Amino acid sequence: MYVGKPLPRPEDFRFLTGRGKYVDDIKLPRCASAGFLRSPHAHARILRLDASRALKRPGVIRIVTAQDWAKAGHGKLVCVHPMPSSDGQPMREVLRPAFAAEEVHHVGDVLAAVVAETRYQVLDALDAIEVEYAPLPTLSVTARALDDGAPVVHEQLGSNLISEILRGDPSLAKQAFARAAHVTALTLDSNRLAGNPLEPRCYLASYEPETDHCTLWATTQVPHMLRRWICKYALNIPEHKLRVIAPDVGGGFGNKVNFHVEVSTIVWMSRELGRPVKWTATRSETLQSDTQARDHATEARMAFAADGKILALQVDTIACLGGYLSNFAPSIPGNSYPQTITGLYTTPALDLRVRTVYTNTVPIDAYRGSGRPEATWVNERLLENAAREMGIDVVEIRRRNLLQSSDFPYKTPVGRVYDCGNPPALLNRLVDMAKYKELRQEQAELRKEGKLMGIGIAAFLDKSGTGPSRQLSTRGGLHGGFESATIRVHSDGKVTVLSGSHSHGQGHRITFAQIAADRLGLPIEDIAVVQGDTDQVPYGNGTWGSRSASVGGTAIYRASETVIAKARRLAAHLLECNPDDLDYENTLFFVKGTNRKLSFAEVADAAYHGASYPSDPGFEPGLECTIFYDPPDLNDPQAMHLAVVFVDERIGRVSIREYYTVDDCGTMINPMIIEGQVQGGLGQGIGQAMMEHVIYDPDTGQLLTGTFMDYAMPRASDMPPLQSDYLCVPAPSNPLGVKGGSETGTIGPPAAIGNAVVDALWHLGVRSIELPMTPYSVWRAIASASAGEA
Amino acid sequence: MATVEISLTVNGKPVVSDVEPRWPLVEFLREHLGLTGTHVGCDTSQCGACTVHVDGVAMRSCTLFAVQADGCDVKTIESVSAGNELHPMQAAFRQHHALQCGFCTPGMIMSALDLVRREGYELSEETIRHNLEGNICRCTGYYNIIKAIGAGAKAMRNASAG
Amino acid sequence: MYAFEYRRPATLEDACKALDSLAESKPLAGGMSIVPVMRQRLASPAALIDLGRIDALKGIEVPNGGLRIGAMTTHFAVSRSELVRSKIPALGQLAGGIGDPLVRNRGTIGGSLAHNDPAACYPASVLALDATIHTDRRDIGADDFIVGTFSTALAPTEIIVAVSFPPPDTAAYIKFINASSRFSIVGVFVARSGGTVRVGVTGAGHHAFRCRQLEATLMTAFDPQAARAVRLPADELISDINGSAAFRAHVIPELAARAVEHCMAGTSGAIV
């Protein structure tokens, strides 16, 4: 049995010895270099663009702009996951352009591309392109996007509204609020983030005129989808003429799922010039061009009965999507956020309004957590504030409201049905592990000495395993939710698994081998896993939304079942018995009650040389199976976090003394990999909570966090001592029982730490804290509380 | 562009090359020597993915020019293991799942080795945390890296004693 | 980055000659400040004169009881020096908290002072310790050395050779660290010698400065509560994404108070 074991990863040897192959590592002869001219303005009309001087610079081969794109007949960077308004109106859509034509809409918006022999020549040429802009009024504050008189990002739309999504039952909620014994209200904005995978984006396209075929090496999480989008939507080329290879990819987190602006241009230029073209982003470029995340302005209220039971939740969110629509963006505040907004609590009534808006900022799209951190921040902050206001212990109020395991499957006010779980067990484990009662005692004692200790909890739901294709298409989605798997047995009995997922750090090679090895009954050393090449692997939907284990893994499991069933039938033929008379163990097929046996390898051998093959025409040679598995449902991982903090209130510095997590991620195929995912997620969740923030100047839209000097991310010394546990209820929707495991780390920390900080400062009158909880933010909260503005 | 001839040792081998003064060492290593194990993750000398050893001391190869390495002994990640055997520090990283996407890993290993050089084989968790401030990881949350470095240092001591 | 010429002289004299003869040339110390700026194409000196091989610029000495640190001495060397620890432990503490280990392996005191980043640590210390900056042609007192944002009293071709620090009776440095840059949001260096107290502040203004109000208060009573009670005006201070001027005005006395607490306890400071 391999499933359940913490087996190490085969790819580590490469990475540890510097033999990883990331896109920028690939060198091709005659490779030209590309670069992009980006707008320094957040909103401006392009009056004049003159590349004539630049074209004369040494080594310059081509310079292209929006006019060239249009002349070439190229298409659009389509939004594949739209969210219409609840009244049926389509989104007010302005897609991200490959090149801005008349106006630029965010700092970093692309106006031109330069191709030259070397990178230095590209940079010199970019310097020489003359552009005249007429700056326009800029909107960069999400909360103001729908104000009267706010600057309009896309004039032709008349306002900044993209769509309005309404969920729940406003009149039911209104009644609940009217009869509530207690109402808690808070402003709960979610800070804007940059995913910053450590490997900057890079694309290398190599078109060979002799074969009219282009290979694109791309830093992508979705090689097949990227190929389809470039061929179908952007460049109108036949799909079989483009091969996309995602070799080693240095982190993604959702940033590398998108149909980014630059990639189509790189392919186009290679095709035009008949030679390889490469573009590697600098970090400053990624901060102006990679999609960003979160950025919600939210006013929310929760209504309670006298005993602390939730009666209703009302949420009004303005969700920023940036200067243009990116691929998946509308679905994050439009679908993922609503689906998890009520969290793990029985919530009789919900009134949710989400209005997505444009602002003059870099487009927003998927980033680890996608909507769930925003939802948990709202739900959990309201609940704990209410508990304190009502004099109910924060653990106790959760006990009174948590879904019981018998409540599952649970239909939320949004309509989503949660599959299974045992939230009270998670809470008990969390509270035991953290020694909650002792922590409260310690807190009281330290308070007498003037030390400010806080304890905060976040209990929450994740949403993963996207997902049933039908569900996606009812929302107008232009992509599927299935996953492909090929189990290819070779003639010597060894196996290659081909998966349409793509690992960029999540350890698919070992995880998938564990699944296949168990289902095929073979030693794991006999199993290789291949991903990331559209020429080798059947169409897959890639890795995002914690879907690879539950969807990709199940595809592998099912394909393995078909293969082993066929092997059994062939073994029975060769052993001249009935397939039911065979046992299969330790790679051997035994005829029951005899010592007649055949190894799997011998069966494979027979499958490929056909000498003793059944003459039955329904029985084909070969031993291989490809399936496209469409999952019947999503799955619902759950987790709970507890943070213990100390606040140095004179300077606002928060230190996290200890942090606890309990996860229900369903069956754990490789516990070591899952633990790594939880911990890695915490790195980013604690980042959002404590320090990460993409900041635009509120008046000019200038990006103030344009490098790592200003965009903070946790270092090793910023991570708190951690204790984690897992209490898993297998998901009912897949035979492995797997739920997603890689995003909960990002979801809990803002709420858990935010609750802890407010807990520490409650007696000073603090009720609210802004993300990220930098010293300045905490100091402001204390200062305004003591000024009576809490 | 005027070039300068430099002569240095890279991973134990002598290298003589003409370089433009403006080429960062990391560019020279990656583009001209084909040593792509050293990575570029930022442009403000902060992430540490480009860490190499120059004359036995860890430094960022993005913040050093190739010309400055003239006459120096440069070691990159490619020199750490001997043939197919992982160095004890590398083995510890694998054992403790201290890498995910692998992009920061070469820099982490080079920094870890430098830490052992400066602080010895017995490394407390606090010492390791404090000394990893120059290496950013976005995937792991650092917990396993810290464990691995502690274990790797101990393994190095045992290897050198034995 | 833009192209430039490169020289690596073996002696100080050769370095001076090179700076004089090559137009728009700049000395290169550890490179921790200038190289990132050049990589972003925000600076383009026509030539770099690498001081890295000039032994006369390295080393730590105690001439006549003072502490003299060669300009090309790395932060790591200062943080580990027994001489520094015995004379001015707070300076070793400061050096050991600059940037990260990779920066400390390369960065130098001369380079840091010549660059004069408004949030760098060393500038606060030279002000508080009344240091003298020795160049190839003169000595400059710390008060005269720091002139503006990224700007010092150095002439374009002038090279720092060493920095001398008269050892104080007691000193401490509190660095309120900036999580992204690993510089300081605010850094306060307090030093007392006899009845004189000097307080060097970095990160809070257009350049490091001495906080006269805190100095006066601490000279009256070298007491943390006295420091805490000081109300500083915010007008001269900077506001940025890490905090408003008002925040900085509030934090400076608090950090000074903690520095005094460290002085009284005989410890040299902390990163908060």
C204 is a domain residue: yes
% of chain A with per-residue pLDDT over 90: 93
Nearest residue on chain B to A194, judged by CA atoms? B138
Is the confidence at residue A546, as pLDDT, over 90?
no
A652 within 8 A of A775, measured Cβ to Cβ: yes
Q: What is the pLDDT of residue A473?
A: 87
Residue A566: which pLDDT band, with cuts at 50, 70 and 90?
very high
Query: What is the tens place of the pLDDT at every residue in A606-647?
Result: 999 877 788 887 788 999 999 999 999 999 999 999 999 999
Chain C positions in Cβ-Cβ contact with residue B61 (cut-off 8 Å): none
CA neighbor of A659 nearest in space, from A673, A646, A648: A646
Provide the sign of the torsion angle of the four alpha carbons C42, C44, C49, C52, taken in this order: positive
Mutate to test the interface with B, among C6, C26, C33, C39 (most CBs of B within 10 A): C6
Question: How large is the average pLDDT for residues A558-586?
Answer: 95
- Cα–Cα distances in angstroms (integers) from residue A772 to residues A104, A373, A459, in the given order: 29, 13, 20
Integer-rounded Cα Rg, in Å, for chain A is 28
* Cα–Cα distance, A82 to A478 (Å, whole number): 8
A711·C185 Cβ contact <8 A: no
For A772, nearest residue in chain C (alpha carbons): C242
In Å, the largest CA–CA distance within chain C is 55
| Candidate from B45, B67, B118 with C-beta closest to C32 | B45
Chain A contacts of B44, Cβ < 8 Å? 283, 707-709
The DSSP secondary structure of A101-128, one letter per residue, reads -SEE-STT-EEEEEEESSHHHHHHHHHH
Q: Quick check: A280 contacting C, CB < 8 Å?
A: no
Which residues in chain A are contacts of B80 at CB distance < 8 A? 17-18
What are the pLDDT tens digits along chain B (162 aa)? Answer: 689 999 999 999 999 999 999 999 999 999 999 999 999 999 999 999 999 999 999 999 999 999 999 999 999 999 999 888 999 999 999 999 999 999 999 999 999 999 999 999 999 999 999 999 999 999 999 999 999 999 999 999 998 886
Give the CATH number, domain containing residue C41. Answer: 3.30.43.10
User: How many angstroms separate the CA atoms of C270 and A83, rounded?
Assistant: 51
Contact list, A690 vs chain C (CB under 8 Å): 179
Count of CB atoms within 10 A of residue A75's CB? Answer: 16
In a domain, C199, yes or no: yes
Q: How far apart are CA B112 and CA A700, in angstroms?
A: 43
Residue of C nearest to A647 (CA): C272
Q: Quick check: A706 contacting B, CB < 8 Å? A: no
A13 — contact with chain B (CB < 8 Å)? yes
For residue C103, being part of any structural domain is answered with no
Round the CA-based radius of gyration of chain B to a whole number and report it.
Answer: 16
Domain count, chain C: 2
Q: Which of A259, A257, A335 is nearest to A86 (CA)?
A: A335
* Structural domain includes residue C122: no
Q: Which of C35, C52, C69 is the last residue of a domain?
A: C52
pTM of the model: 0.97
Residues A287, C46: Cα–Cα separation, whole Å: 29
Which residue of chain C comes nearest to B61, CA vs CA? Answer: C102
DSSP H/E element including A133: strand A130-135
- In this prediction the ipTM stands at 0.98
Q: Which residues of B touch C8 (CB under 8 A)?
A: 67-68, 70
Nearest to A205 by CA among A75, A32, A70, A327: A32
Residues of A in contact with C203 (CB under 8 A): none
Chain A residues in contact with B42 by the CB 8 A cut-off are: 283, 707-708
Q: Are the beta carbons of C251 and A709 separated by less than 8 Å?
A: no
With CB atoms and an 8 Å threshold, state whether B97 touches A283: no
> Does the pLDDT at position A164 exceed 80?
yes
- Helix, strand, coil percentages (3-state) for chain A, rounded to 5, are 35, 25, 40
Average pLDDT over residues A384-398: 98
Q: Taking the CA of residue A11 as centre, how many other CA atoms within 13 Å lie in the half-sphere pointing to its CB? A: 29
The predicted model gives A268-279 an average pLDDT of: 98
Q: Does C241 touch chain A (CB under 8 A)?
A: yes
Spell out the alpha helix ranges (H) of A142-260.
170-179, 223-228
Nearest to C173 by CA among C225, C220, C208: C208
The C269-271 sheet, strands edge to edge: C209-210, C196-202, C184-193, C170-177, C269-271
Backbone dihedral region of A295: left (phi > 0), alpha (psi from -120 to 50 degrees) or beta? Answer: left
- Statement: residue C11 has pLDDT above 70: yes
CA–CA dist A60, A53 (Å, integer) = 11
C185: amino acid identity, one letter: I
CA pair distance C238, C22, nearest whole angstrom: 37
Q: What is the mean pLDDT of residues A688-712?
A: 98
B49 contact residues in A (CB cutoff 8 A): 198
Residues near B141 by beta carbon (within 8 Å), at least 6 away in sequence: A679, A680, A681, A682, A683, A714, A719, A745
Neighbouring subunits of C (3+ Cβ pairs under 8 A)? A, B
* Cβ separation B90–A11 shorter than 8 A: no
Query: Is residue C200 included in any domain, yes or no?
Result: yes
Q: Cα A198 vs. chain centroid, distance in angstroms?
A: 16
Q: Among C52, C71, C91, where does a domain finish?
A: C52
Q: Is A628 left (phi over 0), alpha (psi -120 to 50) or beta?
A: beta
Q: What is the pLDDT of residue C1?
A: 82
Give the closest of C241, C243, C251 to A705, CB-based.
C241
Q: Is residue C97 part of a domain?
A: no
C106 lies within 8 A of chain B by CB: yes
CA distance B100 to chain A (A): 4
Q: Report residue A282 as tokens.
A: 């600098």
Task: Give mean pLDDT, residues A377-391.
Answer: 98
> In this prediction, what percent of chain A has a pLDDT beyond 70?
100
Gap between the Cα atoms of B75 and A677, Å rounded = 32
Decide if B46 and A708 are in contact by the 8 Å CB cutoff. Answer: yes
Q: Supply A262's token pair.
A: 């630059």
Q: Tell me, what's the pLDDT at A790?
A: 47
Between CA A450 and CA C85 the distance in angstroms is 34
SS3 letters across A393-433: CHHHHHHHHECCHHHCCEECCCCCEECCCCHHHHHHHHHHH
Segment C165-189 mean pLDDT: 97
Closest CA to B66 of C6, A615, A120: C6
User: How far is Cα A590 from Cα A581, in angstroms, rounded to an integer?
Assistant: 8
Token code pair at residue A612: 């003793």
Number of C-alpha atoms within 13 angstroms, CB side, residue A684?
Answer: 32
What are the tens digits of pLDDT across the range A448-495? Answer: 999 999 999 999 999 898 889 998 888 788 999 999 999 999 999 999
What residues does A203 pair with on adjacent strands? A218, A279
Residue C36 lies in domain: 1-52
Alpha-helical (H) ranges within A691-748 are 744-747
Q: Check CB contact under 8 Å for B58 and C102.
A: yes
Please tell me the distance from the alpha carbon of residue C79 to that of residue B118, in angstroms, as a whole number.
12
> In terms of Cα–Cα distance, which of C197, A264, A14 is closest to B84?
A14
Closest CA to C173 of C251, C95, C237: C95
Of the partner residues A197, A198, A679, the one whose CB lies closest to the CB of residue B143:
A679
Residue of B6, B40, B47, B59 to mutate, interface with C, max C Cβ within 10 Å: B59
Domain termination residue (choose one: C52, C72, C94): C52
pLDDT number for residue B88: 98
Q: How far apart are CA A703 and CA A694, in angstroms?
A: 8
The answer as to whether C213 is a domain residue is yes
Question: What pLDDT score was predicted for residue A71?
Answer: 98
Phi, psi dihedrals of residue A580, rounded to the nearest 5°: -70, -15
Mean pLDDT of C99-115: 97
How much is the pLDDT for B1?
64
Interface of B with A in 96-125 (CB under 8 A): 97, 99-106, 109
Task: Please state, rounded to an integer, the average pLDDT across all residues of chain A.
Answer: 96
Span B106-120, pLDDT tens digits: 999 999 999 999 999
Q: In which region does residue A320 sit, left (phi positive, over 0), alpha (psi from -120 to 50) or beta (all else)?
A: beta
DSSP of chain C: ----EEE--SSHHHHHHHHHHSTTEEEESS-TTHHHHHHTTS---SEEEE-TT-GGG--EE-GGGSEEEETT-BHHHHHH-HHHHHH-HHHHHHHHTSS-HHHHHH-BHHHHHHHT-TT-SHHHHHHHTT-EEEESS-EEEHHHHEEETTEES--TT--EEEEEEPPPSEEEEEEEE-TTTSSEEEEEEEEEETTEEEEEEESSSSS-EE-HHHHHHHHH---HHHHHT----STTS--BTTB-HHHHHHHHHHHHHHHHHHHHHT--EEE-
- Please judge whether A16 and B146 are an interchain contact, meaning their C-beta atoms are less than 8 angstroms apart: no
Chain B CB within 8 Å of residue A170 CB: no
Provide the CATH number for the domain around residue C176: 3.30.390.50
Q: Measuring CA to CA, how many Å separate A61 from each of A8, A216, A277, A729?
A: 47, 20, 11, 59
The Cα of C95 is separated from the nearest Cα of chain B by a number of Å equal to 14
Chains contacting chain A through 3 or more C-beta pairs under 8 A:
B, C
| C89 and C168 Cβ atoms separated by less than 8 Å | no
Instruction: Give me the mean pLDDT over the A212-227 stretch.
Output: 97
Across the range A367-390, mean pLDDT stands at 97
How close is the nearest chain A Cα to the Cα of B29, in Å? 11
User: How far does the CA of residue A692 sit from the closest CA of chain C (Å)?
Assistant: 9
Answer yes or no: is C210 within a domain. Answer: yes
Could you tell me if A192 and A294 are in contact, meaning their C-beta atoms sit under 8 angstroms apart?
yes
Q: Which residues pair with C68 in a beta bridge?
A: C61, C164
| Residue whose C-alpha is closest to residue A178's, from A301, A279, A322, A286 | A301
Whether the predicted pLDDT of C152 surpasses 60 = yes
With CB atoms and an 8 Å threshold, state whether B106 touches A18: yes
pLDDT grade, residue A789 (50/70/90)?
Answer: low
CB contact under 8 A, C100 and B60: no
Which residues of B fall within a CB distance of 8 Å from C48? 21, 65
Contact A651 C255 (CB under 8 A): yes
Give the span between the Cα atoms of C35 and B26, in whole angstroms: 13
Helix (H, G, I), strand (E, B) or coil at A661: strand
